[in-house]
Structure 1
Amino acid sequence: MRDFTSLLIALLLLTGNSLLAATYYVSNAGNNSNSGLSLAQSFLTLQKGADVAIAGDTVLVANGTYAGFDFRNKNGTAANRVVFQALGTNVLINQSGPIRSDGINIENADYVTVDGFIVNGMPGNGNGVRVVTSDFCVVRNCSCDGNAERGIFTGFTNDILIENNICTNSVDEHGIYVSNSSDRPIVRFNTCYGNNNIGIHFNGDLSAGGDGIISDAQVYGNVLYDNGQAAGINMDGVLNPLIFNNLIFNNHFGQGIALFQQDGAIATRGAKIFNNTIIVPSDGRWGILVRDGSNIGTQIYNNIILNFHAWRGCITVDNTAQFTSDYNILHDKMSASGDGSAISLLQWQALGFDAHSQLADPLVDIFGDPANGDYHLAIGSQAIDAGTTLVNSFVNNDLDGAPRPLGAAFDIGCYEFVPISGNGEPSGALIEIFPNPTSDFVTISGEFTHFHLQVIDANGRVVLYRTGAGAPLTVSLKDLSPGVYFLLLENERNQLLGLKKVIRE
C-alpha cells in the first residue's frame, strides 16, 4: 500500500493539478453553502468562486449582476491556468470587490485568465479590471465602462495579453493602462473611446521600482477614438515597441501616437510604427510625436497620418538621428524641431525623410465613408499598392484580418483594399460554388490546396475568414445578413486563386 501511495503522489506531481481540476459555477440563484460544482449547485458570489479556485480550476459565471472579486496569492501554471469566464454575454459587475474599489482584482497571481465580464461604474479610484504583480495573465472579451480610474490597469505584469476588450468612458484616466516594469505585453484588438485621457497608455515608471522599462510591447489591431487628452497611444519608457494596424482617429487635445520619457527610465525608442491610420482633429496635436531620444531606432512606414489642426501636422521629432520614415500618406505639415513649428513635406524630404511618401488626397478619395467613421480604402485610393515590403516580417494581415498584400504591393494604412472588380465576377481557375443563391451553406470546389478564404460584404469588409488544406470546402453563411457577398480565395503565398459572387437569401 505504501508503494501505491508513493506512486500516486509521484503521478500527481508529474501532472500538476490536472487530475484534480474543478469547474465551479456562480449564479444569482446560487448559495455559497452549495458545492459550486454544477449550475444547480452554484455559488452566489464571485468572491466565493475566487476563494476556492486553485491552479487548473475554472469559475463559470451565469448571466446576472454581481459584486466584484479579488483573487490573490495563488498561481496557476502554464498547463493549468486559473480561469474566470462569463457563461453568457450579460455577466455584469457593478459593485466593487471586497478589498479594493476595483471590479476585478488579480494580484500576485500568475497564469490567470479573465474572460467575458462587463465591469461598469467602479467608484473612488477603482478600475474595471486590475492585474498587478502577476505574470502570464490574460484579460479578454471584457467590457469596462464608466469606471472611476481606468477600464483595464496592469502593473509589473510580464507577458500579459489584453485582447478583444471594449474600454470606454473612464472618468479620470485611460481605457487601458500598462504600467511599471512589464515586459512583452501584447495589447491587441481592443476598442477604447470616450475615456477622459488616453486610449492605451504605457508607462515604465522608474519611481515604482524595477528597471522602469517596458520591453518588446506589441500593440496592434486596436481602434481608438474620441479620447480626451495626451494621445491615442502613449508610450513612456518603452523599449522596441511594435505598433501596427491600429485605427486612431478623432482623439482630442493630444497626439495620435506619442513616444517620450517622463516617468520611465528611458525615452521610448526602437519603435516600429507600421500600417496605422491616424486622423487628428482640429483640436488635436501631432499625428506622431517623437521626443528627444525616442528617435533612436524608430521607424515609421506605411501609415496614413492626417492632421486637421491649424498648424500642427503629421510627424514631429526633436532629433532626427537614427530615425527613419517613408511610404506614408501625409498632410503638408511636418517638423524636425519639435512641437513649436511646422515645415512642408518638401522641406522634410530635403532632410532625407519620406522620399516615397505622398501628400494626401481629400478624405473621400482615400476612404470609403470617412464622414461615418469608415476608414476602409476607397476604390482607386492612393493608398492601394503604395506601401513598402520593409514591414512584411511583422505585418501579415490588416485590421480586418485580411492577408497582406492582396495586390502588387502593401497598401498604406490599417486596411488592405479588397480587389473586387466592377461586376464582382473575375475569372477563377476551375473554381465553382454551389448552391448560389443560398440561405445556409455554400460549397466551394476546384483544384486548389492550402488556401485562405475571405467572405467579403458589398462594402469591402471581411466578415468571415477560413483556411483549408484542400477542396471541397463547405462554409456556413447562415449567420450573415441577406445580401451580396464575394468569396476571395488565395493560396498560401497570398496569390489570387479566384473571386466569386454569392447571394445570401
Structure 2
Amino acid sequence: MNGFPRRALHAAMVSTMLLVVPLVSAPPATAAPREFFVSSESGSDTNDGRSAAAPFKTIQKAADSTLPGDTVLIMNGTYGDINREGVVQISRSGSPGKVITYRPHPGHDPVIAPKTGWNGILIVGASYIKITGLKVRGDSDNLTLEDAEAGSKPSGPAFNTNCIFARKDAETGRSPHHITIRGNHVWDCPGSGIAAVGSDHVTIDYNQVHSNSWYSTYATSGISVFHPVNADDYTGHKIFVRNNTVFDNEAKIKWHACDCYSDGNGIIVDDTLHRQDDDPAYTGRVLVENNLSFNNGGSGIHAYSSSGVDILNNTAYMNSRGRGINWPNIGAWDSKDVKVLNNVSVARAGKETNFSHGNENVVYDHNIYYGGLAPRVTGPNDRVTDPELVAPGLDPWDSDFRPSAGSPAIDSGTETITEIDRDGVTRPQGAGWDRGAYEYATP
C-alpha cells in the first residue's frame, strides 16, 4: 500500500479506585519559570535581567542564566557577534515539559546579525530548546563572490557563518534533542540557513529561509538535517520539516572536500544511514511536508543516503539553478524506505526531475511533474502535466503556488498523514487529498 492509512483516535476508559494511603511529606517545590529580558540598546550584563527596565545587554548572558522552563525575551536592537562562535551559544538545557524558549519581547523586532563568527544562534549539546519568531540575518550583502573564492576556507568563519545551527557538544559528548525552530526569518548567512547535525526530536517549521549558503566552502543548504542520532528507541516520526518557505539558497563556492560545486539545496535530509561516519544508522523517521521550495541552487527537496524519510505534499519549483548542478527537483537517491507522495514538481528546462540511482524501496506516487527532463521513475498514479498553479514564479514577493480551479492536483492525491496544508486548511476539502503544499479551498 503506497499511501498512509489515516490514524484513528481512540478513547481510553479509565477506572477510578478509592485508595487509602498514609500521609507523606510534600515533594520539594520546583523553581517557577522565569523571564529574562535582553536589550542591546539599553541593557547591561550587570543587571539582573528580570525586567524590561533592567535587561541584560547580550543574549549570551541570558542563555547562561536560564533554568528549565525559562523564557528569554529579546527586545529591539541588533545583536552582533560576541566571540568567534558568534552571537549566542545555547548550552543549558530545559527538561520534559519545561522547554527554554527564546523569542522576541512582544511588540519588538530584534535582529540577530552574525558577521565574523561561526553562527547566529548555536545550540551546542542542549536539549528542550525552542527558538521562535526571531530574525537572523547574516552578512552576505557585504561579501563578494570574488572575495569568497579567494578567502572561503574551512578554518575561518567569515564566509561560513550559519544562521541557526544545532550540533553535538564536542567536550561533553551531549547531542541536542527536542529542539523546535519555528516561525523564524533566516537569511543572508553565507553558510547554512538552519541546520541540525547529530540531533534528534527536531522540529523545523513555519520558517522563511532564503539567500543562504552562497559563500561557504562546506556545501551547506537552506535547511539541512545531517547525521541525526538516536536519543531513544522510538521508530516513528521524530524529525519534522514542514510548512517552511525556502528559496534563493545556493552554494556558489566549491566544496573544499571535492573541489566541486555541491548542495545549496532548499531542503536536504542527509545521510541518516551514517555511511559517512562510524555511528549507527538513525532508526527514527523524518517527515518533510507542506514545504514550498523554489529557485534554489541545488535540489528543491531531497533525501540522500537516508532511510525512513516521508516527503509528502510539498511544492518544488525551478530549483537546480546552481553552477555545475543538475540534481533532482524533488526526490531521493542512494536511499531506502522513502516515500515521495502527493508532491508538485516544476523543474527547470534541461534539469533532472527526480532520481532512482541507488534506491531501495523508494516509492514515488501521486506526484505531478512538469518541465525539466523526463522523470527517472514514475509510480502508477504519477502524472506528467501542468499543475496549473495560480501564479508561480521566481519573485518570492509576487508569486502564488496554490492550485487554480481545475488544476489536476485537486482531489487526485492519496490519503496520507498530512491532514492540514501549509495554510492550516484541513485535508481533504473535496473527494480526496490534493497534490502539493496547498489544499484547494473554494473561494
Distance 1:383 1:224, change over 3 A: closer
Using a 3 Å threshold, how does the CA distance of structure 1 residues 412 and 63 change in structure 2: closer, same or farther?
A: same
Tell me the residue number matched to 1:260.
Answer: 333
Instruction: Determine the structure 2 residue equivalent to 1:144.
Output: 186
Larger RCO of the pair (alpha carbons < 8 Å, separation 6+): 2
CA 166–416 in structure 1, closer or farther in 2 if over 3 Å, else same:
closer
Among candidates 112, 115, 118, match of residue 93 of structure 1: 112
Classify 1:203/1:86 alpha carbon distance in 2 versus 1 (closer, same or farther; 3 Å): same
TM-score (norm 2): 0.74
CA RMSD, Structure 1 to Structure 2 (Å): 2.3
Match of 1:345 in 2: none
Deviations 1:97-144 (A, max 9, x none): 9xx510111111111111122111153322101111201011111122
In 1, the alpha carbon distance for the partners of 2:296 and 2:239 equals: 22
Q: Name 2:300's counterpart in structure 1.
A: 232
Residue 384 to residue 20, structure 1, CA distance change in 2 (3 Å): closer
| Alpha-carbon separation, structure 2, partners of 1:120 and 1:214 | 34
Q: Tell me if structure 1 keeps the 8 A contact 2:126–2:176.
A: yes
Give the corresponding residue for 2:270: 203
Distance change (3 Å), C-alpha of 1:81 and 1:415:
closer
Q: Distance in 1 between matches of 2:308 and 2:113?
A: 38
Counterparts in 2 of 1:282 and 1:49: CA distance versus 1, 3 Å:
same
Tell me if structure 1 keeps the 8 A contact 2:205–2:243: yes
1:131 equivalent to 2:196? Answer no
Equivalent of 2:342 in 275, 278, 283: 275
In the alignment, structure 2 segments of 5+ residues that lack a partner are 1-23, 81-86, 140-157, 168-174, 231-237, 251-263
Q: How does 1:431-442 map to 2 (within 5 A)?
A: none
Cα distance in 1 for partners of 2:242, 2:434 equals 21
CA distance in 1, matches of 2:127, 2:314: 29
Pair 1:160-2:195 in alignment: no
Identity %: 25
The alpha-carbon distance between structure 1 residues 34 and 69, as it changes in their structure 2 partners (threshold 3 A), is: same
1:385 to 399, 404, 411: 411
Give 1 or 2 for the bigger CA radius of gyration: 1
Of 342, 353, 376, the residue aligned with 2:402 is 376
* 1:394 is aligned to 2:429: no
CA distance in 1 between partners of 2:411 and 2:179 (Å)? 38
Describe the superposition over 1:329-371 as per-residue Cα deviations: whole angstroms up to 9, x where unpaired: 21xxxxxxxxxxxxxxxxxxxxxxxxxxxxx2x56xx232345
Corresponding residue number in structure 2 for 1:326: 380
**Partner amino acid, structure 2, of 1:271:** V
Match of 2:136 in 1: 119
Matched position secondary structure for 1:290: coil
SS in 2 for 1:313: coil
Q: Does the CA-based 8 Å contact 2:38-2:59 persist in structure 1?
A: yes
TM-score (norm: length of structure 1): 0.65
Structure 1 portions without partners, runs of 5+ = 1-5, 262-267, 318-323, 331-359, 420-459, 461-505
Q: Distance in 2 between matches of 1:275 and 1:62?
A: 41
Asked if 2 retains the 8 angstrom alpha-carbon contact of 1:131 and 1:155, the reply is yes
Change (3 A) 1:115 1:385: closer
Take 1:411 and 1:396, find their aligned partners in 2: how far apart are those partners? 11
The structure that is strand-richer by fraction is: 1
Q: Counterpart of 1:178?
A: 225
Counterpart-to-counterpart distance in 1, 2:297 and 2:122: 26
Shift of 1:283: 4.7
Q: Which residue of 2 aligns with 1:435?
A: none
2: CA distance, partners of 1:367 / 1:148 = 32
Change over 3 Å in CA distance of 1:416–1:113 after alignment to 2: closer
Give the equivalent residue in structure 1 for 2:374: 313
Report how many residues are paired.
351
1:78 maps onto 2:96 in alignment: yes
Give the aligned partner of residue 109 of structure 1: 126
* Paired residues of 1:214 and 1:238 also in contact (CA < 8 A): no
Whole-Å Cα distance in 2 between the matches of residues 304 and 380 of structure 1? 14
